[in-house]
Each structure stands twice: as C-alpha cells, then as structure tokens.
Amino acid sequence: MRLDKFLKVSRIIKRRTVAKEIADKGRIQVNDRVAKSSTDVAVGDTLTIGFGNKTLVVRVDELVDTTKKNDAESMYTVIDQQSSTN
C-alpha cells in the first residue's frame, strides 16, 4: 500500500493530499529512510512522521483498503510520541 494512502486510511493524517505534501517535503521516514508519498509500506514497517513541533513514531500492524473510524487505530501501534515546545 502506498504511504500516503496508509496515512489517510489509518487516519494518522486526515487527507491524502496533506500526507503527500508532508512526505514529499522529506518529513516522513519508513524504516529510517526518507520516504516519498509513493513508497510502499508493509506490515512491520516503522514510520517516523514530523508534524512541525511533534514527532510520531508508529509501527504498521495491518493494511486494509478501507476502514471505519473506530477500527483505524488497529492498523498501527504508536511506539513514541515527542513534542518539542520552546
């Protein structure tokens, strides 16, 4: 599954276009490598996502094409979440 689609379906990022923009700016890493929006993700991959002053690290647990809001969180596990406030 493409990275931008995974981020949208899992509801980590609300819109696929926003996920694409963030990935294309080099703010997302898959397994410690900078990833583009078209990068394929697989079960077990680790995603590091930089949101301005917040960094989110998640592990991909499940890949599904569509999901309900309540089931979206089962697609990933949050490993680490850091905020850098000045």
CATH number assigned to the domain comprising residue 29: 3.10.290.10
pTM as predicted: 0.86
Name the domain count of the chain. 1
Both tokens of 68, joined, read 């309900």
| Spatial strand order in the sheet of 28-30 | 33-34, 28-30, 46-51, 54-60, 76-83
pLDDT in tens, 10-48: 999 999 999 999 999 999 999 999 999 999 999 999 999
Q: Quote the domain boundaries for residue 67.
A: 3-83
Band (pLDDT 50/70/90 cuts) for residue 83 is: confident
